[in-house]
Amino acid sequence: MSPASNILTLRANMLKAVRSFFDLREVLEVDCTHLLDFPQIDAHIDVMEVKASSSIKYLHTSPEYEMKKLLAKGSGDIYQIAKVYRKGEVGKRHAPEFTMIEWYRLGFTLDRLMDETIKLIRLFLNLGTPKKITYQEAFEHYLGIDPFTCDLTELTEDLDLNRDAQLDYLFSHKIEPHLDFHIVTGFPPSQAALAKVDQTAKRFEVFVNGFEIANGYDELQNEKEHRRRFHEQNSMRKEAYPLDEAFLSVIGDLPDCCGVSVGFDRLMMLKLKKDSIHKTLPSSFGFIPHEEPLNLVPELST
């Protein structure tokens, strides 16, 4: 078997394994539209625009909004395996199109969802027990500083960064590489995304071999708070995105739930021991020169 068809077979097997995992737990597969009327709002994620008919549509950056609309209408537990799109994200661990596994569990605590997420990751990798660590503990342990109070300017190469970007710099450059199998919790409220906040953001991230693999939330339901966070995120963008009022009008009906997304291709990278995400993608076979430096695609990086 050629290496390429071997990877294709493994991808197919893992997709099958993920579906069985959710079948067993009676979580329903959904396939929401990838073409949205409004772009999703994150300060640091750029949305791709497409001309679908006479109108412009936006490729989803995660299936979150459409899945939450279903949850608000009473879908119950759901999961989705979706290609998602992020403009300009090209690197060894980043592809502008990648596969995300996202699911929502009604009535779950964040801890229970963490356990389930670890079980899903174990479908791909033989791992021991994850170490639980808070965001604050991670900074104290690896950098000897308190991320909530310490002045970070001198630690960040004189880059012109706001506080959250300074934290992102330190976390991604100085901490993440050390996280071999860790669950990080207790993120700063300013990095809550769409998670509830109780002193710290009720979020967790799972790291394996220095890779960010999963990102889970205790999901925010309050409409006003959604608007406030969207405006806050928008204010950091060069161009503000319009809000999806259809999403905001139903978000108050979102049942108590926790949700998580997992990067399928990064798990494949770790499983296949590849140094580039592009070496795991079926669409890359044949035109990515595998043994040479990563062939970056210039038109996607603007």
Partner 1 sequence: MAQITTNDIRPGMKLEIDNAPYTVVNIEFIKPGKGQAFNRIKVKNLLTSRVVEKTYKSNEKLPLADVEELKYRLLYLESDGAVFMHDETFEQITVSFDVIRENKQWMKDDILFDIILYKGEAIDVIPPTFLELKITETAPGVRGDTASGRVLKPATLETDAKVQVPIFIEEGELIKVDTRTGEYVSRV
Residues found near partner 1 in the complex (CB under 8 A): 42-45, 88-94, 157, 159-161, 164-165, 168-169, 171-173, 176, 191, 193, 205, 212, 215, 293, 296, 298, 301-302
Least Å distance, CB 171 to partner 1, is 6
Residue type for position 274: K
Q: Which is nearer to partner 1, 26 or 158 (CB)?
A: 158
CB atoms within 10 A of CB 193: 14
Least Å distance, CB 150 to partner 1, is 18
Least Å distance, CB 216 to partner 1, is 11
Q: Which is nearer to partner 1, 88 or 242 (CB)?
A: 88
- 3-state SS record for the chain: CCHHHHHHHHHHHHHHHHHHHHHHCCCEECCCCCEECCCCCCCCCCCCEEECCCCEEEECCCCHHHHHHHHHCCCCCEEEEEEEECCCCCCCCCCCEEEEEEEEEECCCHHHHHHHHHHHHHHHCCCCCCEEEEHHHHHHHHHCCCCCCCCCHHHCCCCCCCHHHHHHHHHHHHHHHHCCEEEEEEECHHHCCCECEECEEEEEEEEECCEEEEEEEEECCCHHHHHHHHHHHHHCCCCCCCCCHHHHHHHHHCCCEEEEEEEHHHHHHHHHCCCCHHHHCHHHCCCCCCCCCCCCCHHHCC
**Residue written as tokens 């889970």?**
216
Do the bridges between strand 181-187 and strand 197-198 make them parallel or antiparallel, or are there none, so unpaired? unpaired
CA distance 62 to 60: 5
Least Å distance, CB 251 to partner 1, is 18
Q: Which is nearer to partner 1, 164 or 253 (CB)?
A: 164
